[in-house]
């Protein structure tokens, strides 16, 4: 039963990632065309504004998973009930704090956006803030119920419900916009759906798992213990929000919501790119914990790190090269010529993210060794510095320059963290760079040859775009075969063997 839950939960996590990316790619142009660029920009900007308050969760959801699992393993029902009671007290305080900050935002929206929003847009923004703040104040404590489920290793039912919700939401978005709904209609719909999911998760917790929440004795140290575990999760959440959502708020202060919308599209594509890496690297976290516990030697750790990084890079560089070659045409057909700058925004973000994403397993090793403090401080310091500089750069220069500031600090973080990987994670980084260099050489050659071929093809043509994509993929695949080692070729063969038609064609070739 437990094994089925783990396997089913892992499989459903990948289904969720796939649905999020594919449905997002399909729905985004429909939402933009239905709302218009100006209102879509307003919708994403206010969503980002209120979304910042989601970090006030302080990492409690993951903390609940960890502590519930601990109490369950110890068969300490009383301790679990007492812990959950303390957790929900903290959530109540967080919800009150969210409401207070939301009211402050509501009161000051006129002042913040007086130069960039019309009277009608300000009125809509205020309404959305009220609804979204209410949504967040309910959703943060409501998320504890899914955390309790995961702590009990009940994955399949809550994850299945979330997938059903996501599919149902997608259908409702289409229906609402088809019937003439606006951005306010969308945030109302999301609030209702979130409340429904919270009710279902609570039913699973109280009626199926039969968990009880009871304060047996007040323990001030319990709050300190909870916060000491969750604080770095909180910091990483802040970094993510500042890095990828704050740009919309900065641009909203100086430019029209249409500019914000174009930035949001580019940022969305960059985040889709990152999701592929997360899906692969998360699979290897248990392996990182295992080799760390076994105190594996430097050579073994480095070999595993290189193995994971190369697998991630084969996928990332295929996506990156495809986007370089045919991304302009894709953006044109996806959201229209008005958003052509989104291609350059997304490309800059992808290039900046690639070193970080490909080295994700090194961060898994740090996590397994409980060495997150240094990286947390480094990320927070550089991100805050980047945000401060972005304010001035965005106002003085523009969107692209603001993104380049973010990319610069992404790469700077990589440069600073490398010595720490060598010293604390026990990794041979020189060997790592030597063994991944051929992959970058492969994509470089493939992009150059594809670019020469693309020069003779028309732009904004579907068949030409598909031909560019196919040409690059073939050239890239040929060069990758040249640099693949035995493990990677076996992995590729295993992948094709699960697709019988492709495998049969491959054998004939």
Is residue 11 predicted with pLDDT exceeding 70? no
How many angstroms separate the CA atoms of 308 and 360, rounded? 9
Question: For residues 459 and 280, which has the higher predicted lDDT (pLDDT)?
Answer: 459
Q: Which residues contact 4 (CB under 8 A, 6 or more apart)?
A: 156
Is residue 41 predicted with pLDDT exceeding 50? yes
How many angstroms separate the CA atoms of 406 and 456, rounded? 35
How many angstroms separate the CA atoms of 291 and 302, rounded? 11
Cβ pair 295, 159 in contact under 8 A: no
Question: For residues 504 and 488, which has the higher predicted lDDT (pLDDT)?
Answer: 488
- How high is the pLDDT of residue 152? 81
Is residue 321 predicted with pLDDT exceeding 60? yes
In percent, the amount of the chain with pLDDT more than 70 equals 87
How many angstroms separate the CA atoms of 327 and 143, rounded? 37
Is residue 15 predicted with pLDDT exceeding 80? no
Q: Which residues contact 53 (CB under 8 A, 6 or more apart)?
A: 98, 101, 102, 133, 136
Cβ pair 305, 365 in contact under 8 A: yes
Question: For residues 316 and 372, which has the higher predicted lDDT (pLDDT)?
Answer: 316
3-state secondary structure 222-273: HHHHHHHHHHHHHHHHHHHHHHHCHHHHHHHHHCCHHHHHHHHHHHHHHHHH
Is residue 400 predicted with pLDDT exceeding 90? yes
pLDDT tens track for 178-220? 988 888 999 999 899 989 999 999 999 999 888 898 888 887 7
Question: Across all residues in the chain, what is the average pLDDT?
Answer: 83
- How high is the pLDDT of residue 280? 60
CA atoms within 13 A on the CB side of 421: 23
Question: For residues 262 and 61, which has the higher predicted lDDT (pLDDT)?
Answer: 262
- How high is the pLDDT of residue 24? 81
In percent, the amount of the chain with pLDDT more than 90 equals 26
**3 falls in which pLDDT band (50, 70, 90)?**
very low
**459 falls in which pLDDT band (50, 70, 90)?**
confident
Is residue 286 predicted with pLDDT exceeding 60? no
Nearest to residue 314, comparing CAs of 210, 440, 221? 440
How many angstroms separate the CA atoms of 444 and 193, rounded? 46
pTM of the full structure = 0.78
**73 falls in which pLDDT band (50, 70, 90)?**
confident
How many angstroms separate the CA atoms of 372 and 417, rounded? 12
């Amino acid at each position: 039963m437990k094994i089925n839950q783990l396997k089913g939960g892992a499989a459903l996590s990948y289904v969720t990632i796939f649905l999020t990316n594919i449905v997002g790619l399909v729905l985004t142009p429909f939402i933009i065309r239905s709302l218009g660029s100006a209102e879509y920009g307003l919708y994403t900007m206010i969503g980002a504004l209120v979304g910042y308050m989601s970090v006030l969760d302080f990492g409690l959801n993951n903390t609940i998973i960890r502590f519930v699992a601990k109490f369950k393993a110890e068969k300490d029902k009383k301790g679990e009930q007492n812990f959950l009671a303390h957790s929900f007290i903290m959530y109540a305080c967080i919800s009150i704090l969210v409401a207070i900050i939301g009211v402050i935002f509501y009161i000051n929206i006129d002042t913040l956006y007086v130069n960039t929003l019309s009277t009608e847009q300000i009125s809509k923004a205020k309404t959305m803030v009220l609804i979204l703040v209410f949504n967040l104040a309910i959703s943060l404590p409501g998320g504890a119920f899914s955390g309790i489920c995961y702590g009990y290793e009940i994955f399949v039912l809550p994850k299945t419900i979330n997938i059903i919700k996501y599919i149902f939401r997608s259908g409702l978005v289409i229906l609402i916009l088809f019937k003439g709904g606006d951005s306010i209609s969308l945030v109302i719909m999301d609030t209702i759906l979130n409340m429904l999911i919270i009710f279902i998760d609570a039913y699973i917790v109280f009626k199926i798992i039969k968990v009880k929440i009871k304060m047996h004795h007040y323990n001030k140290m319990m709050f300190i213990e909870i916060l000491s575990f969750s604080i770095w999760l909180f910091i990483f959440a802040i970094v993510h929000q500042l890095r990828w959502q704050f740009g919309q708020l900065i641009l909203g202060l100086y430019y029209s919501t249409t500019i914000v919308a174009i930035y949001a599209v580019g940022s969305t594509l960059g985040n889709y790119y990152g999701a592929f890496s997360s899906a692969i690297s998360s699979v290897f976290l248990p392996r990182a914990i295992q080799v760390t516990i076994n105190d594996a030697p430097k050579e073994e750790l480095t070999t595993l790190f290189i193995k994971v990084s190369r697998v991630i890079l084969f996928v990332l560089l295929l996506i990156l090269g495809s986007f370089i070659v045919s991304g302009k045409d894709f953006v044109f057909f996806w959201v229209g010529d008005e958003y052509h700058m989104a291609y350059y925004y997304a490309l800059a973000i992808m290039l900046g993210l690639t070193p970080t994403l490909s080295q994700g397993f090194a961060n898994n090793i740090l996590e397994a060794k409980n060495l997150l403090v240094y990286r947390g401080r480094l990320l927070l310091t550089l991100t805050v510095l980047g945000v401060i500089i972005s304010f001035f750069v965005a106002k003085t220069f523009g969107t692209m320059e603001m993104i380049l500031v973010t990319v610069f600090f992404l790469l700077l973080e990589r440069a600073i963290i490398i010595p720490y990987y060598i010293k604390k994670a026990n990794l041979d980084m020189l060997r790592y760079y030597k063994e991944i260099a051929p992959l970058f050489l492969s994509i470089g050659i493939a992009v150059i040859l594809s670019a020469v071929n693309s020069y003779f093809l028309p732009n904004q043509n579907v068949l030409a775009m598909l031909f560019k994509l196919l040409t690059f993929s073939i050239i890239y695949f040929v060069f990758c075969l040249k640099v693949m080692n035995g493990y990677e070729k076996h992995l590729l063969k295993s992948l094709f063997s699960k697709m019988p038609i492709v495998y049969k064609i491959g054998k004939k070739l």
